[in-house]
Amino acid sequence: MKKTFVTGLFAAGILVGQPTGRQELSVGDIEKMLAAQVPSDVIVLKVKQAHAVFNLITADILALKKAGASADLMKVMISAETESADEAEGITIPDGTEVKLLLKNPVSSATAQSEQRIEFTASEPVVVHGVTVIEKGAPAVGHVTEAQPAKGFGRKGRLNFSIDTVQSTSGENIRLRSSKTATGSDSYGKAGVVTILTGPFGALVKGKDIEVPAGTEFTIYIDGERKVPQRSGGKQP
């Protein structure tokens, strides 16, 4: 049985063991696999793996049915078209959308250096119209804009840093700002950075040297509308 199955794959022109990823797959390929008696559930997996767009017309559906395509197979082929259309359309993340981020490593005015990279992770997903656009755990980055250690005569340390971008589910870096509205100096585009510790997060300043522990949560906002591709399977159940 196994030998017949493998032979059928080769007869259908499908390479066994080829690298995974996006692959070309047509209605004709499906008909060849059906003619070679490749099991329907295997063809379904192949269709899902290929992320193919079939653009089925009535004649195609009738031909597939005649070739022995199961209802599940045809549903998957039609679903692939719908998902592709959704991905092409994309989804817009509204300006001012709230993002909650956790600081990965502690930052101190005693040791921080200007322009030092600071890393964060999203503490919860960001969902727009039922679609996850930023996953929980998504990376975000910022940088130190000012750092001075505490000095003698009671002079406290100084520390300011930005949270610049967060990564969407499509892999794009989305710009951020500290305030919900984008007016005046709060705008990322005008100010260049988002100052944290002298702004809405000033309450974090404690002691002679400013210490911000790992796990500190910041609420930050998307800077401007941003349209991103919709990842396949990104819709929430």
The three-state (H, E, C) secondary structure of 38-91, written as one string: CCHHHHHHHHHHHCCCCCCCHHHHHHHHHHCCCHHHHHHHHHHHHHHHHHHHCE
C-beta of residue 182 within 8 angstroms of C-beta of residue 188 = yes
Would you state the pLDDT for residue 181?
A: 63
How far apart CA 99 and CA 108 sit, in angstroms, is 24
How far apart CA 18 and CA 158 sit, in angstroms, is 56
Single-letter amino acid, residue 145 = T
Would you state the pLDDT for residue 111?
A: 92
Would you state the pLDDT for residue 113?
A: 93
Would you state the pLDDT for residue 153?
A: 62
How far apart CA 219 and CA 117 sit, in angstroms, is 19
How far apart CA 124 and CA 148 sit, in angstroms, is 32
Pairing of strands 226-228, 158-167: unpaired
CATH topology of domain 92-228: Lipocalin (2.40.128)
Would you state the pLDDT for residue 103?
A: 94
How far apart CA 133 and CA 125 sit, in angstroms, is 8
Would you state the pLDDT for residue 186?
A: 42
Cβ-Cβ contacts under 8 Å for 34 (sequence gap 6 or more): 43, 64, 67, 68, 69
How far apart CA 165 and CA 224 sit, in angstroms, is 12
Secondary structure of 147-181 in HEC code, one letter for each residue: EECCCCCCCCCEEEEEEEEEECCCCCEEEEECCCC
How far apart CA 217 and CA 113 sit, in angstroms, is 21
Would you state the pLDDT for residue 51?
A: 66
Q: Which residues of the chain have pLDDT under 70?
A: 1-24, 51-53, 80-89, 152-154, 181-207, 230-237
Q: What is the pLDDT of residues 39-67, one digit of tens each?
A: 888 888 887 777 666 777 788 888 888 88
Would you state the pLDDT for residue 138?
A: 96
Q: What is the pLDDT of residues 6-38, one digit of tens each?
A: 333 333 344 333 333 444 678 888 888 888 888
Would you state the pLDDT for residue 199?
A: 59
Would you state the pLDDT for residue 198?
A: 57
* CATH 2.40.128 domain locations along the chain: 92-228
The pair of three-digit structure tokens given for residue 67, joined into one six-digit string: 């070739």
